[in-house]
A = this chain, B = another copy of it.
Amino acid sequence: MSLLKAFDINHLKVSCTKCNLRELCFPHGMAEDDMSNLESVVDQPKPIHKNEYLYRDGDEAKALYAVRSGCVKTMAESSNGEEQIVGFHMPGELFGLDGFAEGVHTCNAVALETSSVCELPLNKLEMLCHELPGLQKQMRRIMGKEVSSDHRLLLLLGKMTSEERLASFLLSFSRRMQERHWKEDEFNLMMPRQDIANYLGMAVETVSRLFASFQNDGLIKVDRRHITILDMNQLKVMVGECENS
């Protein structure tokens, strides 16, 4: 590859219209025209390394982010320094909406592995919203989705046993794999047990024991972070999504 070509890469515009994540990401359901306009404000995907912070609690909110590859976790921080993971964001998923209230982020965003994220600068996004009614609607949908997903997590933390929580986590993960046209019953978790435990509001040891117990009961096969779901139906029964025994 010539030096010139290597240089060119940095000047390539993002193409939402050609991105294979467009059906999952911001553009989902948007008109072709609006999508083209959108890509003109999206900054070149930014690579971030494992454990690197994209933003921190208190930072000025400059953009909305979309995961292009890898995985990013967002976590809320309490006054006494404790952290609660509020989301794991997979390719095509958006995050950073917490900064919309006061223009300042209220949580931390950290890469779980080397990842790349598209940045949608808020000022440009705002301007574009004035011109494109479709984009405005899209924004509302995205925020609504965030609220709904937070509610689901509240229900999980407030009302479920740890067994139900882990089952629910695995099912949600599987569903998102499926959305991405990856295997829904065999995947690698990109987060350590510690993070799963934190997210589900329990101790690491409990996560370990539950993985072992699920495996024992023939629901899943666990090999480190590689999970194979053997009895999807039974998992659904556990979280009340499915009536049959």
Stretch of A47-55, A113-121, A152-160, A183-191 that contacts chain B? A152-160
**A98 to B130, alpha carbons, bound, how many Å?**
23
A15 within 8 A of B: no
A151 touches B106 (CB 8 A): yes
**A146 to B145, alpha carbons, bound, how many Å?**
12
Residue on B nearest A97 in the bound complex, by CB:
B147
A107 neighbours in B (Cβ, 8 Å) = 151
A225 within 8 A of B: no
Nearest Cβ on chain B to A20's Cβ, whole angstroms = 23
A226 within 8 A of B: no
Q: Interface residues of A: mostly helix, strand, loop or mixed?
A: helix
Given contacts A79-B239, A130-B133, A136-B136, contact A98 B148 (CB under 8 A): yes
Query: Which listed residue (B78, B140, B151, B199) contacts A100, Cβ 8 A?
Result: B140
Q: Which of A139-180 contact B (CB under 8 A)?
A: 139-148, 150-155, 157-160
Nearest Cβ on chain B to A1's Cβ, whole angstroms = 42
A154 touches B154 (CB 8 A): yes
Given contacts A129-B136, A150-B151, contact A144 B98 (CB under 8 A): yes
Stretch of A3-11, A80-88, A210-218 that contacts chain B? A80-88
A126 within 8 A of B: yes
Q: When each residue 94-118 of chain A gets 1 if its CB lies under 8 Å from chain B and 0 otherwise, what string results? A: 0001111110001100000000000
Copies of this chain, whole number: 2
Residue on B nearest A107 in the bound complex, by CB:
B151
**A104 to B80, alpha carbons, bound, how many Å?**
37
**A137 to B130, alpha carbons, bound, how many Å?**
11
B147 touches A98 (CB 8 A): yes
B158 touches A101 (CB 8 A): no
Query: Which listed residue (B136, B139, B141, B153) contacts A154, Cβ 8 A?
Result: B153
A139 neighbours in B (Cβ, 8 Å) = 140
**A82 to B151, alpha carbons, bound, how many Å?**
13
Q: When each residue 204-245 of chain A gets 1 if its CB lies under 8 Å from chain B and 0 otherwise, what string results? A: 000000000000000000000000000000000001110000
Nearest Cβ on chain B to A22's Cβ, whole angstroms = 18
**A144 to B146, alpha carbons, bound, how many Å?**
10
A240 neighbours in B (Cβ, 8 Å) = 78-81
A101 neighbours in B (Cβ, 8 Å) = 141-145, 147-148
